[in-house]
Structure formats: C-alpha cells, structure tokens
Chain A
C-alpha cells in the first residue's frame, strides 16, 4: 500500500514538473520576443542631440536691448556665449558686453537655452542634460553655469563636444539626450 502511494505521489510530482517547465518556456519566449532593439533608439537620440546643439548655437538673437542704441543681430553661441565666457566673473548682476533681455550674457544664454530645450525636447518627453565648460588659457576647466535640464542618470547619447574659441579660452558645450 505504501508502495502504491509512493507511485501515485511520484506521478503527481512528474505532472507538476511538466507544468512548471512549460510555463517557464512560454515566459522566456514572451520575454525574448517582446524585447526592443536598441540600435534605432541610439541613432535617433544622437541625431537629435547633434541637431539641437547645432541649432541652439546658431540661433540669432534679435533682442533690442542686447546692444543699447543699436539693432544688432547676435548669435547665441558665437556672441552671447563668448561674452559669457569672458565676463563670467561678473555674473549675474555685473558687467557683460551684451545685455539681451536686460540680463547678464550668462543668465540670458542659460535662460534662453533652457526654455528652448524645454519647449522641444522636454515637451516630447525626452530627458536631457546640457553642459558648458570653459578651458582657460592655463588649462583649467570651469563650468560656466549650472547644468541645464532634468539630467541623464543612465544610458544617454550625446552631441559631439562643440568647441568655441573665445578670448577667455575654449568653451566646450555638450548636450546629452536620454
């Protein structure tokens, strides 16, 4: 009798093992089948970072307050950012060559870049992080202003580092899209 009970129990265990194996097989199949390919996502993020960075530094500022008494068309990168690099020590309330929006060049640049990126990348649900640093003539590295954006804690794609020659040294800008 004990022998028959043991046989019955062994058969039940066998059935349970088969059910578990079939379930695990189906779960693995589902997991591998639904996995997304990451290559296309990387290409899109990198292209977006490069184009956004390029468009930002080329943007022409048409504010009437930039140069008092003159209607000057200045570029956000070549003029405003360069002025910020030279006069970074007097930010936020001190002297800068240009006073667009009645602000110091560093403040104006940061605010403008932040609002443009938030209106585009932010609205599209993309997280991003933009940094600008100055490599001065002595080789020291200094962040020009706090990082712009919501931050990229993990995987991220970046624009190429955009070097801009100024009187204070080389300004390097980089935009991460994640």
Chain B
C-alpha cells in the first residue's frame, strides 16, 4: 500500500470517528433537553401541590372557620358551621383587599357527608390567564353545629383546588 492510500484510510477513519462522536453528542443533547422538559413539568406540578397543601393548612387554621372553645381556645381539625355559613359572604367582600393574598387563585369548598349532606363554597378566584393546571387536596374535618341540645358534630371534608 502506498503512503498516500494509508493516509487517506487514516483520514477516513478519523472523520468516521468524529462523525460518530458528534452523533453521540447530539443524541446526548436531545436526551438532556427531553429530560429537562419532563423535570420542569414535574417541578411545576410539585410546586402546585405544595401550594395546595399550604392553602389547605391556612384554611384549616383560619379563625374565621375554626371551632373554638371557651376563651377562644381552638379545636383542632374542626370547623364551626355557624362561622362557615357567614364565611362565604365575608370572604367575598374582602377578596381583593385581604383573602386573595392568603389564598391566591384557588377554589375552597366544604362538604358534609354525615349526618346530612351539605356543601358550602367558601372562596373562588380564577386566574385570568390560567393554563388549566390544577392541584386538588382533600382533608377530613369535623363540622360542629349548635342545636337545641347543644353542640353536635358532623363528618365532612375540605376540598382545596389551586389553579395556575
């Protein structure tokens, strides 16, 4: 084999190796881009879930809804239906100056499952340029009401849907 032919073969080999190398790098970049896309979506979903949980906890500990005993001592995991019935109006009147900072764009509703069925929409604020992403959380609560015999407790749950 002449030296020219040897050199040409060497050159072809090097070009082939470089070609394969750049294909591998391109595949790596495409893979990384796809992975990042999925990771960002997952992160977005995770943040939305975290916001839903924060909003649920804020609602559970809101003095405007929470059951209280003597000297305003709060009762855990309990909502007072007397307060709940008035809450929707109060939240509606003060959405823009107070509650929107607390709950942002979300929908908060309370449902009673026992002894009677009931539903109260406490707060709702749609995002103006919503992407349609939403995260739902549910939390069981006792629902206290006052009757002729004194306090009675129902079984219900809080549904918080955050929107983005």
19 contacts between A and B (CB under 8 A): A15-B20, A22-B28, A30-B35, A48-B139, A50-B77, A51-B140, A52-B140, A55-B77, A55-B142, A55-B156, A56-B155, A59-B155, A62-B115, A73-B152, A75-B153, A116-B114, A116-B155, A119-B113, A120-B113
B138 on the A face (CB < 8 A): yes
B108 on the A face (CB < 8 A): no
B154 on the A face (CB < 8 A): yes
Pick the residue among A34, A54, A116 that contacts B76 (CB under 8 A): A54
Given contacts A19-B24, A59-B114, A59-B153, contact A29 B35 (CB under 8 A): yes
B153 touches A60 (CB 8 A): yes
| Nearest residue, chain A, Cβ from B138 | A124
Which residues does chain A contribute within 8 Å of B28, judged by CB atoms? 22, 26
Chain A contacts with B in 99-119, Cβ cutoff 8 A? 112, 116, 119
14 new A-B contacts at CB < 8 Å, known A55-B153, A56-B155: A15-B17, A22-B24, A26-B32, A33-B35, A40-B50, A44-B53, A48-B140, A54-B78, A55-B140, A55-B155, A59-B114, A59-B153, A112-B114, A120-B155
Least CB distance from A3 to B in Å reads: 14
Chain A contacts with B in 53-88, Cβ cutoff 8 A? 54-56, 58-62, 73, 75
Least CB distance from A136 to B in Å reads: 28
Pick the residue among B77, B149, B157 that contacts A54 (CB under 8 A): B77
Number of A-B contacts (CB under 8 A): 78
A29 to B34, CA, bound (A): 13
Which residues does chain B contribute within 8 Å of A56, judged by CB atoms? 155
Least CB distance from B23 to A in Å reads: 10
B42 on the A face (CB < 8 A): yes
Which residues does chain A contribute within 8 Å of B127, judged by CB atoms? none
A77 to B80, CA, bound (A): 20
Which residues does chain B contribute within 8 Å of A22, judged by CB atoms? 24, 28
Least CB distance from B38 to A in Å reads: 7
B141 on the A face (CB < 8 A): yes
Top 8 A-B pairs, shortest CB-CB distance: A51-B77, A60-B152, A55-B142, A52-B140, A58-B153, A59-B155, A62-B115, A58-B142
Given contacts A40-B53, A56-B155, A62-B152, contact A33 B139 (CB under 8 A): no
A119 to B112, CA, bound (A): 11
A94 on the B face (CB < 8 A): no
A47 on the B face (CB < 8 A): yes
B98 on the A face (CB < 8 A): no
B39 on the A face (CB < 8 A): yes
B22 on the A face (CB < 8 A): no
Least CB distance from B46 to A in Å reads: 8
